[in-house]
Chain A
Amino acid sequence: DSGVTQTPKHLITATGQRVTLRCSPRSGDLSVYWYQQSLDQGLQFLIQYYNGEERAKGNILERFSAQQFPDLHSELNLSSLELGDSALYFCASSPHQLSNTGELFFGEGSRLTVL
């Protein structure tokens, strides 16, 4: 158990809908990262937050947004869903900024299926 909690574990929805994925980082961790894992694209970095502020952005679509709240939990919002958004979405946390030396602690992921 990494200490990172993601909900829901599984989610099935229809195209055009909007969903919210939730992540609670390990106790004391200030950084939260979101990754998308799909069969054709592998593990893609989406976005990082540190202590409530956005710090890095990766291959995140404009239809997607995220935020980190004062209690440090984070939410990833996916809207106008398309079939291609079906994937496993991982949240990871670390104590500070990654700073080249850090280890990420991953949750078990939220599996999104868009029909």
Chain B
Amino acid sequence: AQSVTQLDSQVPVFEEAPVELRCNYSSSVSVYLFWYVQYPNQGLQLLLKYLSGSTLVKGINGFEAEFNKSQTSFHLRKPSVHISDTAEYFCAVSNTDKLIFGTGTRLQVFP
């Protein structure tokens, strides 16, 4: 069975600082990995996805993630965060018919 683990439930950070949100996955087969973001009172939207090819994936709003097969990780990074990045971030893995989400990491950016 496939699953994802988000190690941090909350990450507080000051504006313009770098941030890394951690995600580890388990799967016995090839994986397709995703990061979604949920802004307050909104639905989820896709930040970026890894399907194949380059292990460094760039997404919207300056976010990027690196697929590391040996570490079974897909950590999300941004070199300099803004107040507007405050949101809940979900890592997800896909099997043939559904997305399986992690428990989410709340990123709180302070001025």
Residues of A bordering B, CB below 8 Å: 2, 4, 33, 35, 42-43, 45, 48, 55-56, 58, 90, 92, 97-104, 106-109
Contacts and interface: CB of A to CB of B under 8 A. Distances in A.
A42 B98 contact: no
A42 B102 contact: yes
A109 B99 CA distance: 17
**4 closest Cβ contacts across the A-B interface?**
A106-B43, A56-B97, A43-B101, A42-B103
B104 A2 contact: no
A100 B27 CA distance: 13
A78 B104 CA distance: 25
Interface stretch (B16-24, B45-53, B61-69, B75-83): B45-53
A43 B51 contact: no
Given A106-B43, A107-B43, A108-B41, A100 B96 contact: yes
Contacts, number: 58
B108 interface: no
SS class of chain B's interface: helix, strand, loop or mixed?
A: loop
Given A42-B102, A103-B49, A108 B97 contact: no
B14 interface: no
Contacts of A101: 32, 51, 94
Given A101-B32, A106-B44, A108-B43, A58 B104 contact: no
Contacts of B43: 2, 4, 90, 92, 106-109
Contacts of B45: 2, 106
Given A43-B90, A108-B41, A109-B43, A98 B103 contact: no
B46 A98 contact: no
A100 B95 contact: yes
A42 B98 CA distance: 15
Contacts of B51: 100-101
Given A4-B43, A106-B43, A100 B101 contact: no
B42 interface: yes
